[in-house]
A and B are shown apart, each in its own frame.
Chain A
Amino acid sequence: MKSICLYFQIHQPFRLKNYRFFEIGADHYYFDDYTNQSILRKVARKSYLPANQLFLKLIEQFPGRFKISFSITGIALDQFALYAPELIDSFKELAATGQVEFLAETYSHSLVSLSNEDEFQHQVMTHSERIEELFGMKPKVFRNTELIYSDQIGEQVYRMGFKAMLTEGAKHILGWKSPNFLYYNVHQPKLKLLLRNFKLSDDLAFRFTNQEWSEWPLTADKYVDWIKGVDENEDVINLFMDYETFGEHQSAESGIFEFLKEFPKRIIEETDFEFLTPSEVVKTCQPIAPLPVPFPISWADEERDLSAWLGNELQNEAFSKLYSLRNDLKLANSPELMADWSYLQASDHFYYMCTKFFSDQAVHNYFNPYGSPYDAFINYMNVLSDFILRLEEAIDRDRYKGVIVDELDEEMLYEAIDRYALVLKRLRKRRTQLERNNPKGQAKK
């Protein structure tokens, strides 16, 4: 039995406002509420909501046969709560069908897996709890930020209790091998790996509207033919992409939704492929080989490596500065600082600092609030400078004289922190604001 695994990524960062150096020490609010709200509302309207509705219909149309999976970052969920609460209801509805799986990832779409294992684990657990709380299911399969994976990261993920993980079917890793099988971690055979079929995934995610592409226009007919053409012995075709593919990257006018309506029907009626969620793939498919990945890979850019986030001096500097604060955060023990630190970790901030000027620039510019990578770096460092000042102020240095911070109990770092409570606080603040502006209680259009 051959299968197709559909997985969609949903993430929106809290973009920083234009934060000049003369605000350091004076202004402690870093986020561009207007931009964040308008982008989220726009994407919700053009993409998330209509796509959810369509998938809901397809699930009803093919009970038990059409299945999809999502991972939604904690930051995106925070923004849903603030700017588009109807999205949470809509995803809850999808979750209730039992044909949708939610995956685990880091709460803030961070690159922490490249920095600190304890913090990595903490962020993943926070995210899993949030997902369970909202959608009533504990994630069993893990996807790292930007599908970043290495042997070492895989082991860490296994130690967290996950049985499988998603990553890129990168050409330079696979060589002659096919992504259409289940693989496993080279040191830890119990951690299974699902590899993205980048050709078939990007046909939808990047090329669907590209009129210079020789295959344009892509019809469900043609696409299903390609899938039928996949070698008989291969087990699973993993189609992983951003959820914004539907309606945002590929506009509704391009016919992407019509394609989406048609494609599952053709697969179910004309082929012997079945749709499976990642957990089901792990259960049904036999893993065929270990996949050695000594250096981290990702699904980004031509290089499929980390160079989009940690490829230049600016990114490395900002990254190491940010994570050097972890011990101090333990001492400061402040939920507010913790929340800001979490939002500052979103990989997007580093992505904006990328200086690979020629390749993949179009993708880098998407939703990018900065005119250049240098602007992005300066703005981020200004914010971080203020954050460090606040952190210094919050720490009672005398109290911790002689304490070796690294030996402090991890629990201590988080005991006082209830992230959800903080979000609720922000939400309440926002609600009161909206109600003040609109006394009739109609908060949203």
Chain B
Amino acid sequence: MRVLMFGWEFPPHISGGLGTACYGLTKGLAFQDVEVIFVVPKAYGDEDQSAIKLIGASGVPVMQRTVQFYKNLTEESLPRTELTSKEITYLEVGSMLMPYLSPEEFETFVNEKIEAKDYKWEKLLRKSQESKAVESKQIGTIDFSGKYGPDLLQEVSNYGLIAAEIAQGQDFDLIHAHDWLTYAAGIAAQKISGKPLIIHVHATEYDRAGENVNSLVFDIERMGMEAADRIITVSNLTRNTVVNKYGIPEEKVFTVYNAVEPNAKIEEDSIRKHLNEKVVTFLGRVTFQKGPEYFIEAAYKVLQKTDDVRFVMAGNGDLLRKMIRHAARLGITKKFHFTDFLKGKDVDRMFQLSDVYVMPSVSEPFGISPLEAMRSNVPVIISKQSGVSEILKYAIKIDFWDVDAMADAIYGLVKYSALSDMFSKHGKTEVDNLKWENAAKNTKEQYTALLENIKPQ
């Protein structure tokens, strides 16, 4: 079985849950003997030199290389034989697409990039803007205009055109596209190849924007959902959104829960806490969707009652300044810290330092970060409005708006050691049993079911 997958972000450039999920799932699928051709938009300047450079007729650079997966990262000593390793084909498409950007943010982002002097794509970009004046170029049978326009929606459809081109050159059984920015690519590939399309919904516009949905984005999402032969959602919460808000028939939508990679080996002693105080952490983008203000309110309540707790808000986002001001206004900054965006090792280190992890998301289709916390033995408090709350047992679940309950749960975990001990002990076991292998197995079942349904006709 060969799958053409339109995904996001491979290590080392992972900026959030979507990249982590794509990586974990692809790796899991490779070990389920699914051949994956993994296509990513990529605008970073540090391409692997071993990659094969493919320049599409469109002039868009496409890099092809082989990515090797090893069965268990934690057991370095294992011989890297064929049994323990798998390969996938990895295609990088020169594109400015990034996850989590709204059309408006994309514009700012692209403009900033243009200003960066030694930015590698700069020339291409200029060229494309120049070429805009020349109208469109003929590439095969596809009209392709303005390669790197600052308009996200334009970029989405451009990416779709490249996808169509890739689809022509590859052999595969089905197409799997992750989140709305790649739906157009998925549909294009579906049209060109006639192969079935699965779209994987990690989040919807309702999760990103609340009720103020961008109707253009909504339309692209619905188009993808309607065109798809099958839809995978990351939780029943998201499944309900897809069914109720997008009007998609239930029987087409299936939930496959995400998972988490087991810890890479940790040098436990390397990180020592220098404080006797308990540390309560929020880690994620500081945006409306993540509910940072509820965390601050709960922190304020806890700090009224007890002194030996510190709070950390780790992450960046459009609400960060507002949150800093809010904490200052409440007079808790002595005990409330902001770290800005953390990545890689720093994330692990933050978890190691934490005694409680809080995810107060207003809307969270899944939410991998609590699993990462639990993997590091950190007890978690999660909002009931998160997909991950559907599968976790050893977690305190609260309504994101219920600041009293959140504060009470924090206080309980900090003060009553029986509770935190129980969570550390059983929580770790619980997440270790949520394996990407299982998620991949469930995904493969969807593939098989879809292919069997379609073949007889």
Taking Cβ atoms with an 8 Å cutoff, the residues of A that contact B are 20-22, 24, 312-314, 316-318, 355, 357, 371-372, 374-375, 377-379, 381-382, 385
Contacts and interface: CB of A to CB of B under 8 A. Distances in A.
Interface of A is mostly: helix
B337 interface: no
A377 B407 contact: no
A406 B421 CA distance: 31
B419 A20 contact: no
Contact of B418 (A316, A357, A375): A316
Contact of B419 (A21, A24, A357, A377): A377
Contacts of B411: 21, 378, 382
A378 B416 contact: yes
B304 A22 contact: yes
B301 A22 contact: yes
Given A22-B304, A357-B393, A377-B412, A313 B407 contact: no
A318 B418 CA distance: 9
B421 A313 contact: yes
A21 B393 contact: no
A377 B417 CA distance: 11
Nearest to B421: A313
Nearest to B393: A357
Nearest to A315: B418
B408 interface: yes
Interface residues on B, range: 20 to 34
Given A313-B418, A313-B425, 11 more contacts: A20-B407, A21-B407, A21-B415, A317-B417, A372-B396, A374-B419, A377-B416, A378-B409, A378-B412, A378-B419, A381-B415
B422 interface: yes
B147 to A, nearest CB: 53
Contact of B397 (A22, A357, A372): A372
B305 interface: yes
A313 B422 contact: yes
A374 B425 CA distance: 15
B418 A20 contact: no
B419 A22 contact: no
A24 B412 CA distance: 12
Contacts of A378: 408-409, 411-412, 416, 419
A313 B412 CA distance: 14
B173 interface: no
A357 B430 CA distance: 13
B229 interface: no
A375 to B, nearest CB: 8
Contact of B305 (A24, A316, A317, A357): A24
B305 A382 contact: no
B404 interface: yes
Contacts of A21: 302, 305, 407-408, 411-412, 415
Interface in B7-66: none
Contacts of B412: 21, 374, 377-378, 381-382
B264 to A, nearest CB: 29
A385 B408 CA distance: 13
A377 B421 CA distance: 13
A314 B419 contact: yes
18 contacts: A21-B302, A22-B301, A313-B419, A313-B422, A313-B425, A314-B418, A317-B417, A355-B393, A372-B396, A374-B409, A377-B412, A378-B408, A378-B409, A378-B412, A379-B408, A381-B412, A382-B408, A382-B411
Interface in B347-366: none
A374 B427 CA distance: 13
Which of B397, B415, B418 has the most chain A CB atoms closer than 10 A to its own CB? B418
Nearest to B409: A378
A20 B422 contact: no
Nearest to A24: B305
A374 B356 CA distance: 14
B24 to A, nearest CB: 26
Contacts of A314: 418-419, 422
